[in-house]
């Protein structure tokens, strides 16, 4: 997979997609699979913003039932099953425990929660129709107070009257799931480039005909032309639209900040969800031997390019966590890693972002007097594949081109063609040349492409030496550069591998990764130092 802009010769595309998060990646895949010529442009790295700032859940949105968003929940549950099918190594079942308490109001009572669980099961009536039997999710079960405490001892016992266990899914590596969509698009003929920043639009009359972009890696500018342009820039959607209109867009997005913290292990095998005293839901998610806690939901005012997780936001979230779970003694110094991002919201009528819908809109900008541009707003990670189908319906209307039926719900994503996960893992474990932890990690992260990383490991013993508890190895760094368009240390450590996603792995590991990448990317000593400085700063807990 190569950055096409480095050899671009002026080709005009049917569709140019601006924004390489999960929405843009899914649209690129859908469009390319239907025979359109596609260019995907991302100003940073693929999936580096909102798409990487998730709670790592592929879920139906149980809490959306409280807002009577039955249609959104049904769509989400259907897409949850689809992602289980097409990305079996990256989307796995996750048992989830909801504790119920007396005195938290009618909507959070045990009786109302039971009704919600029944409705959730009804809306996911097809959850058993997975290609792989191991992916089939059971219906909910009821737990007594004693059973809740036996399963998850950190749940607060005061006023606890029981709980329920239901199933959603975990995407242990959403960054690689986004990348799987990008690579699926490229495998169908799409052209893609990260670090391709769109600075302006080319407009002839009242129609967009091209974009002016800067290659943020090697410098230089170029124009990319197309017949139709799709704005998939998430929290930047209104800013991107303003560039095209040459004036401020009338439709202004609301942006919601969501942050997460990672601590030592606090829960067992269940994701534990509960309602805090402040009326919000928070989740404690088992992840890579640690606990991921999320998320906040606060309106963000300002330039999304300037967003950073602040110490104040972390402290406020930590205070809410301590009020609601465990012994209440998690200290700031106990946080191993924190990350956050901005969610685009399409609603304006709701007072708070927490109760705002996670629905999406596909907007034809011809209504603004500018043809040839479509803007996508809102949405959630789980429904991105289906959102891409909706976008293509608008493309069909505008282009007058009859669409073939989308096959993205019936085809494995790139590197995910695994009909039987249990049999696949048994085969991987049978390989005796390398450590079992490494092989299991490679199988989950790289799916059917794991032999490509394994073969790199065979060339040099140092590339196969485990560098963390998950069994990750330096061969992944070489694969990321050679095959996955990784061009910086953050690309490698945060979005192609998991080396940095649990926090700073230490100077020694970072240096080894940087030196391995440098040999592939021809970095000099100054560039190595700069890359190490950059990733070290990114992995610091806010002070």
**What is the domain partition of the chain in residue ranges?**
4-50+175-252+358-399, 87-171+254-347, 421-538
What CATH number was assigned to the domain covering residues 87-171+254-347?
3.30.9.10
Per-residue pLDDT reduced to its tens digit, 291-323: 999 999 899 999 999 999 999 999 999 999 999
pLDDT tens per residue, range 358-404: 578 999 999 999 999 999 998 899 999 999 999 999 999 999 999 98
pLDDT value, residue 347? 57
What's this model's pTM, rounded to 2 decimal places?
Answer: 0.96
CA 153/CA 147 separation, integer angstroms:
10
Q: Taking the CA of residue 491 as centre, how many other CA atoms within 13 Å lie in the half-sphere pointing to its CB?
A: 22
- CA 542 to mean position of chain CA atoms: 22
Q: What is the pLDDT of residue 432?
A: 85
- Maximum distance among all alpha carbons in the chain? 70
Q: What is the distance of C-alpha 510 from the center of its chain? A: 24
Shared fold status for 4-50+175-252+358-399 and 87-171+254-347: no
CATH 3.50.50.60 for the 4-50+175-252+358-399 domain, yes or no: yes
- Written in H, E and C, the secondary structure of 260-271 is EEEECCCCCCCE
| Predicted pLDDT of residue 125 | 96
The residues pairing with 282 across neighbouring beta strands, listed in sequence order, are 274
Flag residues of the chain having pLDDT under 50. 348-357
Give the burial string for 120-140 (b: 16+ CB within 10 Å, else e).
bbebbeebeebebeebebeeb
Question: What whole-number distance in Å separates Cα of residue 328 and Cα of residue 404?
Answer: 55
* The pLDDT value given to residue 9: 93
Q: Give the pLDDT confidence score for residue 357 in this predicted structure.
A: 44
CATH number attached to the domain at 421-538:
1.10.8.870
């Amino acid at each position: 997979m190569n950055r096409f802009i480095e050899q671009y010769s002026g080709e005009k595309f049917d569709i140019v997609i601006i924004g390489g998060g999960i929405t843009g990646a899914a649209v690129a895949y859908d469009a390319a699979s239907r025979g359109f010529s596609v260019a995907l442009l991302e100003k940073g790295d693929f999936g580096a913003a909102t798409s990487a700032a998730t709670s790592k859940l592929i879920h139906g949105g149980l809490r959306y039932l409280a807002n009577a968003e039955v249609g959104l929940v049904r769509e989400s549950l259907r897409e949850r099953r689809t992602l289980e099918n097409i990305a079996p190594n990256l989307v796995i079942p996750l048992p989830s425990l909801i504790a119920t308490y007396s005195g938290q109001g009618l909507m959070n009572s045990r009786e109302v929660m039971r009704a919600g669980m029944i409705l959730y099961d009804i809306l996911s009536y097809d959850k058993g129709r997975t290609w792989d039997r191991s992916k089939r999710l059971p219906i909910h079960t009821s737990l007594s107070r004693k059973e809740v405490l036996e399963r998850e001892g950190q749940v607060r016992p005061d006023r606890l009257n029981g709980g329920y266990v239901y199933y959603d899914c975990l995407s242990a590596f959403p960054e690689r799931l986004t990348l799987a969509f990008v690579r699926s698009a490229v495998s169908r003929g799409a052209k893609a480039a990260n670090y391709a920043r769109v600075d302006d639009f080319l407009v002839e009359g009242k129609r967009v005909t091209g974009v002016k972009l800067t290659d943020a890696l090697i410098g230089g500018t170029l124009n990319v032309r197309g017949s139709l342009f799709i704005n998939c820039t998430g929290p930047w959607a209104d800013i991107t639209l303003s560039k095209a209109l040459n004036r401020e867009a009338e439709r202004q997005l609301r942006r919601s900040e969501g942050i997460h913290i990672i601590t030592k292990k606090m829960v067992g095998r269940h994701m534990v969800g509960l309602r805090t005293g402040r009326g919000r839901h928070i989740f404690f998610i088992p992840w890579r031997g640690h606990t991921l806690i999320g998320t906040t939901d606060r309106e963000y005012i300002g330039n999304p390019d300037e967003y950073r997780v602040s110490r104040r936001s972390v402290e406020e979230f930590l205070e809410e966590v301590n009020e609601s779970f465990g012994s209440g003694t998690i200290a700031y110094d106990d946080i191993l890693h924190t990350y956050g991002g901005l969610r685009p919201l399409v609603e304006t009528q709701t007072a708070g972002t927490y109760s705002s819908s996670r629905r999406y809109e596909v907007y034809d900008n011809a209504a603004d007097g500018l043809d040839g541009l479509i803007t996508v707003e809102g949405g959630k990670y789980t429904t991105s594949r289906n959102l891409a189908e909706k976008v293509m319906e608008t493309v069909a209307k505008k282009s007058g081109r009859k669409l073939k039926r989308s096959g993205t719900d019936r085809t494995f994503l790139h590197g995910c063609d695994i009909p039987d996960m249990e049999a696949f893992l048994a085969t991987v474990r049978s390989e005796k040349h390398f450590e079992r932890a490494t092989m299991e990690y490679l199988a989950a992260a790289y799916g059917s492409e794991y032999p490509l990383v394994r073969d790199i490991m065979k060339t040099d013993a140092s590339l196969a030496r485990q560098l963390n508890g998950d069994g990750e190895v330096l061969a992944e760094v070489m694969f990321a550069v050679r095959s996955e368009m990784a061009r910086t240390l953050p690309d490698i450590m945060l979005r192609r591998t998991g080396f940095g996603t649990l926090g700073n792995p230490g100077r020694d590991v970072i240096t080894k990764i940087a030196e391995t990448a440098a040999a592939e990317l021809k970095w000099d000593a100054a560039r190595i130092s700069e890359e190490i400085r950059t990733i070290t700063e990114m992995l610091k807990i806010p002070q």
